[in-house]
Structure 1
Amino acid sequence: MNDDDEIIKNISDYSTVADSYKKDFAKLYNLNILVGDGVKLAPKENLTKNQFAQVLKNISELKYLEGKVTEIAKYGNLTISVKQDDVKNAKIEAGDILTIVAGDKQITAPFGDTYSNVDNKKEIVIPEKNGNIIVAINMGNFAKTYGIKLDDTVKLMLQGKKLYLEEYKIRSIDKNRTNNRDDYASDEVFANFREVKTGLIAPGVLYRTSSPINPGLKRASFADTLIKKVNVKTVLNFADSEDEIKKYIADKEFNSPYYKGLFESGKVIALNMGVDFMADEFGTKLKDGLEFFAKGEAPYAIHCTEGKDRAGFVSILLEMLGGATVEEIKEDYMISYMNFFHVEKGSDQYKKIAESNVLKTLMTITKTTNMEELNKADLKSCAENYLREKIKLEDVTIKAIEGILTTGKEVKKAA
């Protein structure tokens, strides 16, 4: 996020403000209290009565929006009783910075329109389709992180206008995605389906896809047809529970017969994982999934809902085990953003998303802090250490997975 004085620097006479008052002027400007004429502040001129009245009016409009937590979603996002009209009346817009008061914590977060407006593990406030407001952590659990329960009070207050606007514009990609097949170049692109071919991973072993079972994104039947086409025999479902899968199957609009057959024959593991990759629960379920993988049969398909985040994280680990390079892993990961959101390869959006997602994840797994260190890291060894230390996976299982990835055959699989 930008410093307090980042936006006000665009005001032509900001440099004439005394150094000792620059930060104060910046805060007042960012809070829409002292705004000048949009070009100049005239810091050395006296305020007229009308100007002073406007300042007082601006201060009076600066208030907390207070609401109760009405719902805590599966992944810990809060729905609060503050309405979008309340936000609009408070002159809060996408790209503004807010203060969230939750319990005894004060948290700084931008107001945006989707979770991906911020880095993984960062807070965000966004509107919900039904008119309410959501307070969340991208790829994290806000409720658990801050100990929030139903009916708790959450307050929002404007901290600064437009302080996140440039970042928001780069990250604002959700509007580019539709659930209309005609808006995409192929069934594979629409379903975010592809073979993972990085490093030494053998042909025909590993595929990743959006959900072939959840009809919410209108892609399930396409993904189901595609996994059937490549004869997938083992599936890791990171998003759903067994009960959720049974509900999808029971729906009268259900149209994923191949997946149904795999599920009923025990070839699908339903892991129902959260989106906080660092949570203990995520690690426990990932361990179950990878042990299932080690005992399974190729070809494999891995998926969550979009096939982008949880499937992306696990794909990163598997590609590291398969000997892929940083560049190969990055390019495969970013195909999901090109598929779903039409992000152009090499664009500022592409680079920003890669930095805050796949490259950041790789640094976490490898325990590196910058690109120079990451590019020197032994990715395979780092993935093995991560699985051994964080996920508590046994060496025999890790070796079995590596053998499957690089040969596609039973190479002394885990018992």
Structure 2
Amino acid sequence: MKKFSKLFTIFFLLISSLAFSAEKASVQTEITEIDVHGNAYLAVKAKQMVTRGFSASDIVNITAGDFKFTAPIVKDYSDVNTGEFLLRMEPETISLAINLGNFAQTAKVKVGTKVTITLKKQYGYLIDYQTRMLKPSDDRAQFESDEVFANFRPLTKGKIKEGKIFRSYSPVRGDARSPYAVKLAEKNKVTAVIALGDTLETASANFKGAPYYKKLSDSKKVCYVNMGSSFGGEEFNAKLKTTLLFIAENPGETYLIHGKDGKNRTGYVTAVLLALNGATLEEITDDYMQSYKNLYNVKKNFQQYDLFANTIPFIFTNMNGGKKVTDKNLASVVESYLIKDIGLTKAQIEAVCKNLQ
């Protein structure tokens, strides 16, 4: 990790030699597209940003229409804390976003909205950015088990029956981990799957390497949710409702929930299920962070641990209108959220819990 950190710093210092001084780091552009998750794409390109004096890990001031905010320039949504703003700089696109949120709704912007970006602090986010630059290894030999490699495990806390529901990496992503996820799903006799990040089309592209998964799909035992990663909003709420109704309306199954890595969307849904079934905040956080340990070897004594672990209290506090959630009121807060925001009935929620116990 130390070696990577030094290389990372050198890389960005080299980039800085191409940039103009801080006084010249400013750009005016506009929003050209807003995607289904509320991310706002800009007319300016990454190459133009670098030419005008901006680099990844800079902190910038942004005005989008009447909305003003500060954000770091990063590569991925998870490079900032849950709920925070970011300017995402990819090779071909620049976008404004909120990690697990809907930027367009929050900022009240639309296509054509004018945007001004000015440099606040060059490399002001560098240390945090380095901390989050985690890349999983695709070498099975570096992992202690197939389960760890495939980020595959049962939900066991609270009243959930052991072996009743599992979470994992995607069995149909078509990469090094997917075959292990498929094998473990079959080994654990999974009979119904909730594919949070897929459509039938995207999943079927990799059915050749996942015959067991294809069999379940052909039997209508896979619920293709195609959920975005921007928590909240009408679309996300509708997708979460679809997910929970699938469990409520399919009793007697052994379920598997997965997204791509089995980390964020899967973490949100499993946090809801664990809370409904009596798990504590600590147990839910431990389960959520197990994915970071499995994928990136992030342990409790690592600097990154608390950055990612704060996602769980953020999720539940957000469900509770910004008020703190404790073990005592956790289940009732989640139930109220599912009824008021998601549109489930109390009977449907009870069916979800019954089918997992």
Q: SS at 1:231's partner residue?
A: coil
- Which amino acid counterpart does residue 290 of structure 2 have in structure 1? I
- Inter-CA distance 152–362: structure 2 relative to 1 (3 Å threshold): closer
Partner Cα separation in structure 1 for residue 229 and residue 25 of structure 2? 33
Residue number in structure 2 paired with 1:173: 133
Are 2:316 and 1:362 aligned? yes
Conserved? CA contact 2:24–2:53, under 8 Å: no
Relative to the length of structure 1, the TM-score reads 0.73
Alpha-carbon shift at residue 146 of structure 1 (Å): 4.0
- Which amino acid counterpart does residue 386 of structure 1 have in structure 2? Y
Alpha-carbon shift at residue 81 of structure 1 (Å): 4.5
From 286, 290, 300, give the equivalent of 1:331.
286
Partner Cα separation in structure 1 for residue 181 and residue 25 of structure 2? 48
Q: SS at 1:390's partner residue?
A: helix
Partner Cα separation in structure 1 for residue 244 and residue 95 of structure 2? 33
Q: SS at 1:111's partner residue?
A: strand
Q: How does 1:142-181 map to 2 (within 5 A)?
A: 142-146=103-107, 154-170=115-131, 172-174=132-134, 176-181=135-140
Conserved? CA contact 1:173–1:341, under 8 Å: no
Q: SS at 1:120's partner residue?
A: coil
- Which amino acid counterpart does residue 348 of structure 2 have in structure 1? T
Partner Cα separation in structure 1 for residue 152 and residue 39 of structure 2? 28
Are 2:258 and 1:298 aligned? no
Residue number in structure 2 paired with 1:391: 342
> Identity of aligned pairs, percent?
35
- Inter-CA distance 152–364: structure 2 relative to 1 (3 Å threshold): closer
Q: How does 1:232-311 map to 2 (within 5 A)?
A: 232-249=190-207, 254-296=208-250, 297-311=252-266
- Inter-CA distance 272–161: structure 2 relative to 1 (3 Å threshold): same
Q: SS at 2:193's partner residue?
A: strand
Map Cα deviations across residues 344-386 of structure 1 (whole Å, 9 max, x no partner): 223331112112x11211222345644xxx3353322222222
Are 2:156 and 1:197 aligned? yes
Deviates more, 1:236-245 or 1:144-153: 144-153
- Inter-CA distance 180–80: structure 2 relative to 1 (3 Å threshold): farther
Map Cα deviations across residues 108-160 of structure 1 (whole Å, 9 max, x no partner): 211123211212232212331x3443332211233454455567654422122
Looking at CA atoms only, which structure, 1 or 2, has the larger radius of gyration? 1
Conserved? CA contact 2:247–2:355, under 8 Å: no
Relative to the length of structure 2, the TM-score reads 0.84
Q: How does 1:124-143 map to 2 (within 5 A)?
A: 124-128=86-90, 130-143=91-104
Conserved? CA contact 1:190–1:339, under 8 Å: yes
Are 2:172 and 1:213 aligned? yes
- Which amino acid counterpart does residue 342 of structure 1 have in structure 2? N
What is the root-mean-square deviation of aligned Cα atoms in Å?
Answer: 2.6
Map Cα deviations across residues 283-303 of structure 1 (whole Å, 9 max, x no partner): 122112211101223311111
Alpha-carbon shift at residue 324 of structure 1 (Å): 0.6
Residue number in structure 1 paired with 2:330: 379
Partner Cα separation in structure 2 for residue 260 and residue 304 of structure 1? 16
Residue number in structure 1 paired with 2:301: 346
Residue number in structure 1 paired with 2:185: 227
Conserved? CA contact 1:210–1:303, under 8 Å: yes
- Inter-CA distance 358–376: structure 2 relative to 1 (3 Å threshold): closer
Deviates more, 1:66-75 or 1:96-105: 66-75
Partner Cα separation in structure 2 for residue 83 and residue 163 of structure 1? 21
- Inter-CA distance 201–349: structure 2 relative to 1 (3 Å threshold): same
- Inter-CA distance 70–225: structure 2 relative to 1 (3 Å threshold): farther
Partner Cα separation in structure 1 for residue 143 and residue 86 of structure 2? 29
Deviates more, 1:313-322 or 1:105-114: 105-114
Alpha-carbon shift at residue 340 of structure 1 (Å): 1.7
Conserved? CA contact 1:366–1:379, under 8 Å: no
- Inter-CA distance 112–62: structure 2 relative to 1 (3 Å threshold): same
Partner Cα separation in structure 2 for residue 245 and residue 149 of structure 1? 32
Partner Cα separation in structure 1 for residue 112 and residue 127 of structure 2? 35
In structure 1, list runs of 5 or more residues that go unmatched. 1-56, 407-415
